[in-house]
Structure 1
């Protein structure tokens, strides 16, 4: 008989915790999942799901304003923001009922407990139960999936004004007349577009010289130009000095290269990243190491205590829902099945769901240059994708980084409509060693967006052509046509 009550205890019921619990139960482990609030986590309630619903509502509104692009009549949409938020909540609830309802997991023989969990020792968890009282449980393996929360920077005066984060934004019932967003990362940029399209005047403030610091600079410029054309204002290279209340509005005082400027709005959104939820866990009682970035783990998500794993946002490595699910799979496979699965950071995709979308997978151009890897850049504009023209979405660019000789794909970055779908094909290619030659030789349906992924791969063939090779072919086969002009290194066919 085991000395522990459970085989697997999962702390947290977000994307990572739900996945870890499901896998644990599926391999026959006696499993408990502990959640302090409600299953679904940030993704369902305050992140991915509500933000994408709001973005879609904004896009519909913009399509009404710009209907003439499709030969229809432009009109100003009548926006009832309270109804928009009701719609956000409705979809959020539907996702919860389909994927996150406790009964789904209880039917898999997972014991779901609501309460606050903390370590008592390396194998023992104490729970402050939601309904009152305490419970102490033990487990052979423990998976920490306690997630992360909005990071609020130490800005002078911020504690004296009202502000929003992603955790409160989707409970606002009145459309902000003027929304000031601090932070030019994915959350800030997605919400800047959503609220602009719904009728707010939006200004994004960031201390950096460009938005979306982790993405390809050339593609970010394309995205930023689109956002500016839609009405988003940007204040970059701006150091925030103070936040205050002035004339009934929130005033953000910034220093731009020695010039002081005040940016005012009816609402303020803080979108400056996320910090792991570790303080309440009493990690020191289990001897688990952590720092301000999160719980320290190896590439199997294993902490310094071999039977304790940290998965999802709490380990601070990749704070994406898809990576939360993947880290849960890696950790449970390693712990419960003894299969040494690891995270391969060379094919981690990410997407910012603006319009146009911005997506990446694999190594960036900068990373390849730093590593000294020999590579070629293959570019393909959206304006040459027929589906982009039929759908009137020609703004975009695909960039592929690959070995010139073999076509081995190192990385891909895309800005444009459905970039998040296109990037998935490149993720499969990088993971499985599929070369650009293989992609180019694979039949894709016309006129699909996926055909754009293949057309970009075609450029490997195009750029490997040369004047001498065509001369040789002409000579061998006796062809009489003209030799193509190879003088333009960026020519696209």
Structure 2
């Protein structure tokens, strides 16, 4: 029997893969998706979405404790961890099911199984029933990434957890160590700390949230410490000694090595691309530190083979993967596709307070040779923030002093993950400070701080 042939085969059905498949189908291509585990990938099932559901529960719990401030009464406060987790899993399940519906609606063929690339243009799919081969001139690798494991810090699901264990905790940690203060680490630290865990965060770099603007990192750290977290920067976890119910962590900083006891450790030290077992090396695909090397159009250099999302390198963000998927599908369909500009991709972290940014930090803008104008506006100067009871935060904007180009925007505070999009659109449309100054922002909103931050960069802030 001849192998089934498609215009495009996508390997992996995460936010990059399933979006590529849908866009390809919309453009009239015959499309197959191969997925070994879950439709929706890590993001929907074990990442972005279920963590947001957990964090929302923690946020509501936190607000319940502040009831008195708002003239309200709430007594006998508590939580049911199993119920919190069950809600998070239900949210993930609902969305994962929705992906199946979307693929079916768009007439995408879905094959659940493990994919390999035995020859150019051929994908072998291994299922419980055996292996079948399908062919296409165009193949998109969207296999994503997984948690990086450091020697000696391997997860066991009991004392040492990965993000997966942390999403479905069997117990509430009493004394928690989080290794790594990127988005994943700090979100879990925020969640468990809010629910009452004595939380310590260890970061090897010189500050928490190390990819963020230094000023924003410092502001966020102050808030984390106020909430009771211990933050250890420029510190490495050298070793974990495990015994029943206890982990002794050996922590090394410039002063030497100390030990501390914990009952739970969450390791969040980055990710590695899922590049193994596909047969990529034999096809001549270049791999650099577990990521497939691609050009601006996500081409691997092997004719008809593309790589998108986490497997194709930083930034490791679902929305970047989705847009790359659309771009590649349009390229395959013969449309005029635009490469994704990394400088217009926002990063969002859903800790308390939230952190969001796009473009260059002040430090990076200066290092790139720009003369900058920097504006800042605090939440305490905004009517809506005060009315919400959220006066802790800041919006910071970085402009090119010569041209007025918005180089970067950085925020910390309530709902900034929703606000950042205004600046993202500004960057995409190549907005100058003048355009932003002439924009009428609605009142009373948190977004007015974005306007004020721009005005402040040019010495024109009105409410500060």
Q: 5 Å matches for 1:319-358?
A: 319-358=316-355
Contact 1:64/1:76, CA 8 A, preserved across alignment:
no
User: Partner of 1:486 in structure 2?
Assistant: none
SS in 1 for 2:357: strand
| 1:176 CA drift (Å) | 1.7
| 1:461 CA drift (Å) | 4.9
Contact 1:158/1:244, CA 8 A, preserved across alignment:
no
Contact 2:38/2:96, CA 8 A, preserved across alignment:
no
Measure, in 2, the Cα distance between the counterparts of 1:190 and 1:157.
20
Q: 5 Å matches for 1:482-493?
A: 493=464
User: Partner of 1:41 in structure 2?
Assistant: 41
User: Partner of 1:481 in structure 2?
Assistant: none
The number of residues matched between the two structures is: 463
SS in 1 for 2:88: helix
1:150 is aligned to 2:147: yes
Contact 2:5/2:136, CA 8 A, preserved across alignment:
yes
Question: Please, which of 108, 113, 128 is the counterpart of residue 110 of structure 1?
Answer: 108
| 1:362 CA drift (Å) | 1.2
Measure, in 1, the Cα distance between the counterparts of 2:109 and 2:78.
47
User: Partner of 1:456 in structure 2?
Assistant: 453
Q: CA RMSD in A?
A: 2.1
Change (3 A) 1:49 1:138: same
User: Partner of 1:424 in structure 2?
Assistant: 421
Contact 2:166/2:188, CA 8 A, preserved across alignment:
no
Change (3 A) 1:223 1:76: farther
User: Partner of 2:125 in structure 1?
Assistant: 127
Structure of greater Rg: 1
1:90 is aligned to 2:90: yes
Q: 5 Å matches for 1:92-491?
A: 92-98=92-98, 100-101=99-100, 103-129=101-127, 131-155=128-152, 162-246=159-243, 248-404=245-401, 406-463=403-460
Change (3 A) 1:262 1:212: same
Measure, in 2, the Cα distance between the counterparts of 1:140 and 1:158.
40
Structure 1, residues 184-208: CA drift from partner, whole Å, max 9, x if none? 1111101101111112121112222
Measure, in 2, the Cα distance between the counterparts of 1:194 and 1:446.
32
User: Partner of 1:470 in structure 2?
Assistant: none
| 1:492 CA drift (Å) | 6.0
Structure 1, residues 369-403: CA drift from partner, whole Å, max 9, x if none? 11211221111111111111111111111111113
Change (3 A) 1:247 1:39: closer
Gap runs ≥5 in structure 1: 464-489
Q: 5 Å matches for 1:22-61?
A: 22-61=22-61
SS in 2 for 1:7: strand
Contact 1:404/1:460, CA 8 A, preserved across alignment:
no
Measure, in 1, the Cα distance between the counterparts of 2:208 and 2:432.
32
SS in 2 for 1:462: coil
TM-score, normalised with respect to structure 2: 0.95
Moved more, 84-93 or 139-148: 84-93
| 1:136 CA drift (Å) | 0.6
| 1:260 CA drift (Å) | 2.6
Measure, in 2, the Cα distance between the counterparts of 1:108 and 1:287.
33
Measure, in 2, the Cα distance between the counterparts of 1:406 and 1:288.
41
| 1:221 CA drift (Å) | 1.0
Measure, in 1, the Cα distance between the counterparts of 2:77 and 2:261.
26
Structure 1, residues 334-382: CA drift from partner, whole Å, max 9, x if none? 2222424212122121111112111111122122111211221111111
SS in 1 for 2:205: coil
Measure, in 2, the Cα distance between the counterparts of 1:161 and 1:354.
24
Change (3 A) 1:293 1:399: farther
Measure, in 2, the Cα distance between the counterparts of 1:104 and 1:112.
11
Measure, in 2, the Cα distance between the counterparts of 1:3 and 1:60.
53
Change (3 A) 1:174 1:247: closer
Change (3 A) 1:159 1:450: closer
SS in 2 for 1:192: helix
Change (3 A) 1:157 1:95: closer
Moved more, 219-228 or 69-78: 69-78
Change (3 A) 1:201 1:75: farther
Measure, in 2, the Cα distance between the counterparts of 1:254 and 1:157.
16
Change (3 A) 1:248 1:112: same
Measure, in 2, the Cα distance between the counterparts of 1:336 and 1:50.
34
Q: Which ranges of 4 or more aligned residues in structure 1 deviate by more than 6 Å?
A: 156-161
Measure, in 2, the Cα distance between the counterparts of 1:93 and 1:168.
17
Gap runs ≥5 in structure 2: none
Contact 1:253/1:260, CA 8 A, preserved across alignment:
yes
